[in-house]
Each structure stands twice: as C-alpha cells, then as structure tokens.
Amino acid sequence: MKRMFLFLATNMAILAVISIVMRIFGFDSYMYENGLNYKALAVFSILWGSIGSFISLAISKWMAKRSMGVQVIDSPSNETEMWLMDTVKRQANKAGIGMPEVGVFNSTSPNAFATGMSRNNALVAVSTGLLENMRREEVEAVLGHEISHVANGDMITMALLQGVLNAFVMFFSRVIGYAVSAAMRSDRNGGGYGIGQFLGTMIAQILLGFLAAMIINKFSRYREFHADNGGARLSSNQNMINALKALQRASSPDKLKGEFAAFGISGGQSKLRSLFATHPPLEDRIAALEANNYVLS
C-alpha cells in the first residue's frame, strides 16, 4: 500500500509544483484573460499532466534507492546474493526482458517490489525479511511475480493511465477554480481571477486527485492477478501459492513506502480501505491460483 501512496503523493506534489510555478510566472494567465479558454486549457492539461506522470516514472528507481535504502548488488558478496542474481537473470531471460538491477532493502517484513522506466531499465528489490523468513522456492515465486510486473509493462501502463487522469484532474480543477472565482468576484471591482481562482483550483486538484487514485488503485489490483500468473509460470503454481500463504502468516507486515507498493508482493487491507487498496486480498489471489482461475486480458 505504501508504494502506491508515495507514487500518488509524488505525482500530486509534482502537479501542485507545476500549478504553483505556472501561477507565479503567469504562464497560465492567458487562459483567463477573456473568460476561460477551454481549448488552451485542454492542451495545457494534457501536456503538463503527462509530464507530471512521466517525471514520477523517470525518478522511480532513484526514489526507491533513496527512500527504501535499497542496496544494489553490483558484485555478489555471498552465496545468497549470488543465488538472487542468478534467479533474476534466469527469470528475466525467460520473460524476454533486460536484466534488471537487483537490490536488497532492510525490513523485517517479507516483501519485494519492482520499479523503473521500462522493461529493460528496471529495479527488482527484496527485503531482508523475505530472504530470511521464506523458503527459496517461495522467494523464487515472489521474484517471478516482480519480473512479471516488469515484463507486462505495468510500470509504463500505470504512467500512461496516470497521465490521462492527471489531464482530467488539471482540466476540471481549473474549471472549478474559475467557477469559484467567478462566484466570489465583485462586479464593482471588475475582472481579475486572483487568489479565489488559485485556491479553488488547488483544493479541487487535491480532491479530484483522490478520485484518480481510486481508479489507479483499481487498475493496480487487477494487474496483481496477472503478476501472480506470471510468478506461477516463472516458478510454479504451488510455489506462488505457498509464497502468498507465507505472506498471510506474517503477523505485522511492514508496508512498503508509498510509490513502491503498486508492484510489491504483499497485499492485505481492511474493507474500509478497499477503494484505495493497491492489492486484492491475499485469500482472493490464493483462490485464483488454486483454481487456475487467472485473470487474463
């Protein structure tokens, strides 16, 4: 859950910075000079919404290494690291992608995630808790799950979807901000869409951003079944089931930080948070594997 939270928070922060910069330098003022220019606003929203999303994607590996403290394995220093590198290389070759960077981050909870700009420029990271508390065949299935996220192009697809949603958020937040400013404006004082328009836009952008997050998270839940399917193919169906059951047994799993939950392995969430959950319930994923009921495109 945390990975997706940080991904969305980073994306929303980028949109906010774009809005503030455009406001400070007056780049968007022409859209309001003679009433709201919807065509100009649409172009603005598509352009900057897409830029915001792809900035988030472009810095995803850097964010992972810094925020999660991922130590990339450049040269294996022990037998475990050697096995880890060999397993990822074998699975990457089988999945038809470039060899990802492989890293380890310090966490007592069994977890893992994948991120990166493309299928051939990715990072797969596992926690120390995963390596210490799960059997190797289970770890192999988890790695297969993460490699499948990369091979399926989930990262770039997520960025494209986020770019479209960003455009809608930016467009409608500015329409709402304009309407709020128009309602607040005094006819005696004439034109000018100042602080009312800006505050209305920012508040609407935050609220619409949460609605966009619900859509993104629904997509993320859907893709988890595909990644489980891929993990089963790259390891075995039973190994994937056993890995998910091992995660179920984890008593108090630490969640991955924001952006890095979307392509993580762990699930589990309360029903109250189901709309913002990045993963389906583990029992649903296990049931799908046990029934060979994979979610196909």
- E strand spans, the chain: 71-72, 101-105, 112-118, 121-127
**Which residue bears the tokens 């493309």?**
118
How many residues are given for the chain?
Answer: 297
Residue environment code for 242-277, b if the CB has 16+ CB neighbours within 10 A, otherwise e: bbbebbbebeebebbbbbbbbbbbbbbbeeeeeebb
Q: Which is the catalytic residue, given 140, 146, 224, 259?
A: 146
Token pair, residue 52, equals: 């915001």
Burial class (CB in 10 A: 0-12, 13-18, 19+), 188: exposed
Active site residue 146: yes
Task: Give the whole-angstrom CA distance, residue 180 versus residue 201.
Answer: 9
- State the catalytic residues: 146
